Chain A
């Protein structure tokens, strides 16, 4: 029985990673919207200094994150019904997804594309530093979990079908 699940986990290893990653992207985008836009009102809906590419990037990410949230959860359900859910790997994907999106948001979208700043009428540096440090830590946790689960698979010499 345990062997059966382990085998399934290895077969659907990539899907475990993707499911966590996609759900992580959706989760952090949702968190950003609720906490920073709606509750704290730190972020602005539209900052007049936003570049055209910033608008495109925001529109794409918003649409994709909706899709990723629902898609990631359905993939999770799919892994469960296939008895192939591997939570360590799934969490690895989730942390990596959350971290990488926050890093992209905090560097490219906030700074390069000037979509909006974290907060207005304050010294922005400590905010940027905190934001991106947290992002980096989450990304590293994700990477550790992913490489850890990767290493477990190696000795078995399993070939992934996905």
Chain B
């Protein structure tokens, strides 16, 4: 009997954070341009201490302006998707749930495509120009969240199976809308849309957007974490959970909204990157068990690690070209999924 304590939680998260740090350092080193880590570290420290303003142009511009934001984006998106996946698996009581099962990503895609179409007709100042697609995507996600919530209600509260059905139907409907938009309105200009849909971290995002993402993540993931102990009980049975003092209705709404918002935020900047939200929770469960007080932070860190690795592979394996990161997660994810499945059945 080794119950989870704060100390143990910290220790395990600390180890994962160190692994993440190492992965980030390696990711900073790899790429088209050679980087001297020592020099980079020294310059970063100087900058943090405010001692020098410029970084030597050898690698500074490349690393700080291109690679680092991309890595940070990977951390955020990986963590958001993994936490959302864990939450949906608990909420829907289904090990096959991933962040996209309730249609949020399809809604975001529709929003993004509409934004792409509208953008062609607007002449926006550069400050706003980079925001149209992510904002459009997030609006699409938000509307879908609302619609699926209304569909998923039964007797006034969210019911797991109804929610799942409502989400799947919505996702499938929205996919049809996407196909329609792509074949008619966009006509031949499919490249931008399909690239976005494949999942892509290579587009640098405006700095303001990154801050919004970070804050949104902390708030949404934090909200889910407050229900972590409740989720453990919910998974053991709903009626039992109610009799053990869990406010089932409140927990369901909080988790549904927060996890959907996390998914919406992630998808609006990176498209639909698959397998991270599905598999990272399972792997972390194998290592740390099903207690969500440990599982949620572990999934966040694990998702960040996984996606940074995948993105680094995506941009180095066939250099100078790039693979879409969704392809890398699929190639690695599918065999891993089969392995986990067999292990579970064994």
A and B part of one assembly:
no
- Measuring CB to CB, which residues of chain B are less than 8 angstroms from any residue of chain A? none
